[in-house]
Structure 1
Amino acid sequence: MSDDPPLRDPAAGPTVQLDLREPQRHLVRVTLHLTPRCLQPELRLPAWTPGSYLIRDYVRHLEALEVHQGGIPVASARAAQACWRLELTSLAPLVIRYRLQATELSVRTCHLSADHGFLALAGVVLQVSGERWHPHRLALTLPEGWQAFVPLPSDGDNAWIAADFDQLIDSPVEAGPHPCHHFSVAGVPHRWVTWGADLPADDPLWLADVERVALACCRLMGEPAPASDNYLFVLHLLGEAYGGLEHDHSCVLQFGRRSLAAPAGRRKLLQLVAHEYLHQWNVRRLRPAELTPIDYDRVTIVPGLWFAEGVTSYLDLLLPLAAGIGTEAELLDDLGADLSRYLLTPGRRVQGLRQSAEEAWVKLYRQDASSADSQISYYLKGAVVALMLDLHLRRQGSCLALVLRDLWRRHGAWGRGYRNDDLVAAFAEQAADLAELLPHWLESTDDPDLAGYLADVGLALVPKPATEPFLGWLLEDAADRPMQLKRVHRDGPAERACLQSGDELLALDGVRLRRPDDLTLAIGPLTTPAERELLYCRDGLVRTTRLRPEPPAVVSWQLVVDPLLANEHTDLNRRRWLSLQV
């Protein structure tokens, strides 16, 4: 492919060329060809990508920007951190070139290596003044033996057409010598591509199970077919990883090989598939009004993220079972693990669910040692509230699926964004008391009545206490390093002893500490809350403090069928609920 192809009709918008032929240098060469629409156009690189609510400053990876018009260099003045302004004397065609470092491996960044390339195009393509709503042509130049996988209509060999800038940067690019597997869901073409293995070849039932989960998503939404007319799955199978990012016509997943090999690994990956696949309705098309349209340059507060992510996180657990995959016992284990994480997160007493959604940009994606004490994930608490909503609605003869379908018909199917008040109104239509209950659940730091709702379906949460005294700290998980504090619990014994994260434990009551089991032996069984002398090191200085252990705390909760609640009525309720029957 020539570096300077013939220019297309200016009305057709820019052509974006990406050259990936230097994978060993981890550099992507970008060339934009366009005819400007004004004499002072601006070039802007997005600061974040939809679905991942953190300003990522992709511009830090951009280098060697140059602009030419008719072969003559054009000066660019930096107008903002990720914005350049051009001063043109004519509307003759422009050629814009730059390079990008692609060394960050995640579902929302760019990574180019000897055996694959992945590009989140929000971090790659400059938005040019006046071009956002015009078509963009994407063309790739690849290393020999590679092919590209892009969820866009083809425009020839290694070229695709996007309807506008938004569709272009919503289209992740995966490239490499990967096998591609084709299958269909309700007659709609789907592709599955894995980097790091060939999962469908290793697991012959995999694509059939993915299809079953996808069909369960369609049934949940009351639709005969997927929202996308041509869908692409991209999986990065890595040593240790977990995550995903949704797009209109695709999703990108990352999962760990060790996790996949674990007994529950396959089920967990199917739940991740269900989560991202359901997002083609909830989030991508049934979208918060604050993201309609998207502002790529700055933070946008989205109070409805609790619904977008929390409801999806709740349903992704149930969808595989609704598809006929797995057992009720496995689902209760998974749901119990989420409820346990929620109940063991003290930050739920500090941050409400709506506040968690509004603070996503500054808290959820910026975890530190004290995060668990000061915040709660809107994914996690959102899933807990979604569970409460589903069981509350079922008391009224309705369910969460009916609300989701109603919102889809009123908002998503028309591309009409919703606001938090629309969500409350939709739930209140199915159960009038939710007009007051739901806002309280969103604003309050009180726990919903978990025990009462779970009793409706014959379930109970059973606490499992620790076998050792509670010290109010979490140690770094490294057997070959000194015993350091990773976290100090708020209002716990360690905090009262003036300890902090990073402190190295040296001795307890004169007994040397080298490994966690040394600490267990030194503490011994708890008989009386006696103070203990702790020797520790901070900033190179050895210090002493007094530590008073507390009785053992709850370390986990298990969700079980309660024999005292089990009867024909609760058993029927549970079966209908777990199978997502309306």
Structure 2
Amino acid sequence: MVAIQLDCRHPQRHLVGVRLTVSPQRSCLRLQLPNWTPGSYLIRDYVRHLEGLEATQAGTPLTLRRLTPSSWQLVCDPDAGPVTLTYRLMATELSVRTCHMDQQHAFLALAAVVLELEGERWSPHRLEMLLPDGWEAFVPLPNDPRGGWIARDFDQLVDSPVEAGPHRSLSFEVAGVPHRWVTWGACPGGEAWLLERFPSLLTDVQQVCLRCCQLMGVERPASGSYLFVLHLLDEGYGGLEHDDSTVLVYGRQRLEQPHGYRRLLQLVAHEYLHQWNVRRLRPAQLAPIDYQQPTVVPSLWFAEGITSYVDQLLPLAAGVSDADGLLHDLGEDLSRYRLTPGRHVQSLRTSSQEAWVKLYKADAYAADSQVSYYLKGAVVALCLDLQLRRDGSCLPAVLQALWQNHGRWGRGYGEADLLQAFTAHSPALATLLPAWLEGLDDPDLDGYLFDVGLRLETEMASTPWAGITPTCQDGSLVAQRVWRDGPAEQAGLMVGDELLALDGQRVRQPAQWSAALRAGVAQSLLISRRSQLHTLTLQPLQPTVERYRLVRSETASVEQRQAQERWLTMAAPLPC
């Protein structure tokens, strides 16, 4: 057994003390810190936060020889007793995949904390926490009767996020399975504020969780116990899934918006569903996980896109949301998709393969050259669901079949398994699905929406299109985005250029910029780039589509309305 002790008793220093103890099985021991955490496909070089690594055996210092930036080797005596490793980690990065500690709390993503010891990956690991007085640690691991927690192996350990602080946990059950909810707020009273504003939160979350079980065709959650951790910040949105827990980030300002609570429940649904899709119904490339190197996963569109589509349906199917809200949110996603020119440059399969180098490293030009496998994956999931319904089936039936054939047995799936599962319910998908994954043309979205009595309605912009998004930055008006092949790019404008004047008129605000544009007219644009002034010629075009709205068709038939109702609640289609 590997023993890990984490010392968080001085949170004001933002340094986590780490002590690892192991009885070596060989004279040459290699140790390495993971470079990424599953679910977040980006090499993060966690080792940059590590300092003061030392090794001792029987009170004698051991020499550590560095092999790579994140791995070391030491020589020891297997008969001389345990080897102890000590080091510190700076915990100042607040996200669901990194570490953060201050006087209010500590959050530790253990992939960024615990060294993997050669030969011990599949050995039990015992975790112990040293905390300030009045603090409690919340860890999704079995308790050790002697104190602390026990992980069956290194994988389970680093899949267990740690939240600690003077928090309290709220408990509820889902089909008899215990669940805990822990809230940390950036401001005092975050949990009280949340429950005062939304007193039905735990009941609503419970219903969403139950509906996830029903979606997968099971009576109980896949986990034997589950932990929700919510970081309620002023701003923020996101989450990271684990086998037996999830960490959510949500903004108070977002919650105060009309659709904020519904979208929190969608985030809950998304991460909770991942305990099946991704965690246990897992791409074959992630079994086992290589913590050091990027692993190309061509099916991330299924892992994230399917989940992103279903997470909007689940609160409605659970009875804690309404159809109008769902159509609003789905319409926003479809609008964002259609206004992403990169979908005609990068295929959905390529987007999945390039996650490590593009999605998590997007810049101001990314929308012109790539499309998110979350976003297009959700659009394809919608088309898959509606195509399946044309053939008398539905997406839940395919998910349940994949769970029974692969997920419940821990069998990793490949692309051929997914294609086979879909075509078994709709033969037409043998041709359609590969085209949607590998091609650059849009699926027949309008045709599928027509099946359920819906259509996309266009809204035109009120001002000419210049192919630029200006924003105020440090008191200046700056080009935040420049569309590929748009008027601004053709004029020679670049992201970061300061916009000074248009046709001799000073512009300081986006509204002034929009009001000064003239469609079809060559205009003189004065800019500053790297402190040098340049005059460009800009010729804006006529207004273009600003957004799309998903609306119910006024001429929908009774059959279309019935199909819409069953689709929205994820019910199977009526037999023909």
Interval of TM-score (by shorter of Structure 1 and Structure 2): over 0.9
Residue equivalent to 2:60: 72
Q: Deviations over 1:317-357 (max 9, x none)?
A: 00000001121111100000000000000000100000000
Deviation at 1:226, TM superposition (A): 0.5
Q: Secondary structure at the match of 2:376?
A: helix
Aligned to 1:512: 506
Match of 2:298 in 1: 303
CA distance in 2, matches of 1:240, 1:248: 26
SS of match in other structure, 1:86: strand
Going from structure 1 to structure 2, the CA distance change for 1:145 and 1:420 (only over 3 Å counts) comes to: same
Q: What is the deviation of 1:158?
A: 5.3
In the superposition, relative to structure 1, how do residues 159 and 369 fare at CA in structure 2: closer, same or farther (>3 Å)? same
Indicate the SS of the match to 2:293.
coil
CA distance in structure 2 between the aligned counterparts of 1:360 and 1:20, rounded to whole angstroms: 34
Cα contact 2:471–2:509 (8 A) shared by 1:
no
Alignment correspondent of 1:486? 480
Deviates more, 1:214-223 or 1:194-203: 194-203
Aligned residue type for 1:282? N
Amino acid at match of 2:44: R
CA offsets, 1:482-503, max 9 Å, x none? Answer: 0000111001000000100010
Q: How does 1:472-551 map to 2 (within 5 A)?
A: 472-478=467-473, 481-523=475-517, 526=519, 529-551=520-542
RMSD: 1.0
Q: Who is 1:172 aligned against?
A: 161
CA distance in 2, matches of 1:366, 1:516: 27
Q: Which amino acid aligns with 2:20?
A: L
Correspondence for 2:112: 123
Structure 2 counterpart of 1:257: 252
Post-superposition CA distance 1:77-134 (Å, at most 9, x none): 0011100001123442111000000000000000001000000000000000110001
Residue identity in the other structure for 2:351? S
SS of match in other structure, 1:546: strand
Q: Give the whole-Å Cα distance in 1 for the aligned partners of 2:328 and 2:508.
A: 35
Find the counterpart in structure 2 of residue 212 from structure 1: 207
2-structure distance, mates of 1:116, 1:89: 40
Residue 393 of structure 1: how far off its partner (Å) = 0.3
TM-score by length of 1: 0.96
Aligned residues: 565
User: Is contact 1:183–1:191 with CA below 8 Å preserved after alignment?
Assistant: yes
- Which amino acid is the alignment partner of residue 563 of structure 2? N
Deviation of 1:513 (Å)? 1.2
The alpha-carbon deviation at position 433 of structure 1 amounts to 1.6
Per the alignment, residue 422 of structure 1 pairs with 417
Cα deviation digits, residues 1-28 of structure 1 (max 9, x gap): xxxxxxxxxxxx1000000011101000
SS of the counterpart of 1:378? coil
Partner letter of residue 123 of structure 1?
Answer: A
Q: CA deviation digits over 1:535-556, x for unaligned, max 9?
A: 1110110100100000101111
The answer to whether the aligner puts 1:155 opposite 2:149 as a matched pair is no
Identify which of 181, 206, 214 aligns with 2:170. 181
- Letter matched to residue 396 of structure 1: D
Residues 1:568 and 2:564 are matched in the alignment: no
Mapped to 1, the partners of 2:291 and 2:516 lie a distance apart of: 55
Of 402-411 and 80-89, the range deviating more from structure 2: 80-89
* Residues 141 and 158 in structure 1, CA contact (< 8 A), matched pair in contact too: no
SS of equivalent to 2:94: coil
Query: What is the alpha-carbon distance in structure 2 between the residues aligned to residue 562 and residue 294 of structure 1?
Result: 47
CA contact (8 A) 1:181 1:200 kept: no
Asked if the contact 1:17–1:32 (Cα under 8 Å) also holds between the matched residues in 2, the reply is: yes
Answer yes or no: is 1:30 the counterpart of 2:18: yes
CA distance in structure 2 between the aligned counterparts of 1:407 and 1:347, rounded to whole angstroms: 31
Q: How does 1:4-83 map to 2 (within 5 A)?
A: 13-83=1-71
What displacement does 1:69 show?
0.2
Alpha-carbon distance between aligned partners in 2 of 1:512 and 1:181, rounded to the nearest angstrom: 56
- Please tell me whether residue 134 in structure 1 is matched to residue 128 in structure 2: no
Candidates 228, 234, 247, aligned match of 2:223: 228
The answer to whether structure 1 residue 190 and structure 2 residue 190 are counterparts is no
Conserved? CA contact 2:298–2:349, under 8 Å:
yes
For 1:156 and 1:499, the matched residues in 2 are separated by 65
After superposition, residues 351-370 of structure 1 pair within 5 angstroms as 351-370=346-365
Partner of 1:7: none
Extract unaligned runs of 5+ from structure 1: 1-12
Instruction: Report the alpha carbon displacement of residue 202 of structure 1 after superposing the two structures with TM.
Output: 4.7
SS of the residue aligned with 2:127? strand
Match of 1:386 among 369, 381, 384: 381
User: For the residues of structure 1 that align with 2:117 and 2:196, how far apart are their CA atoms?
Assistant: 43
- The sequence identity of aligned pairs, in percent, is 58
* Matching residue within 272, 275, 278 for 1:280: 275
Q: 1:477 to 1:251 in 2, by over 3 A?
A: farther
Q: Deviations over 1:394-445 (max 9, x none)?
A: 0000001111000000100000000011101110111112111101100011
> Residue type of the partner of 2:421?
A
Deviations 1:230-288 (A, max 9, x none): 00000000011000000000000000000011111100000000000000000000000
CA contact (8 A) 1:140 1:158 kept: no
Contact 1:148 1:158 in 2 (8 A): no
**Which residue of 2 is the match for residue 339 of structure 1?**
334
**Partner residue in 2 for 1:4:** none
What letter corresponds to residue 461 of structure 2 in structure 1? Answer: A
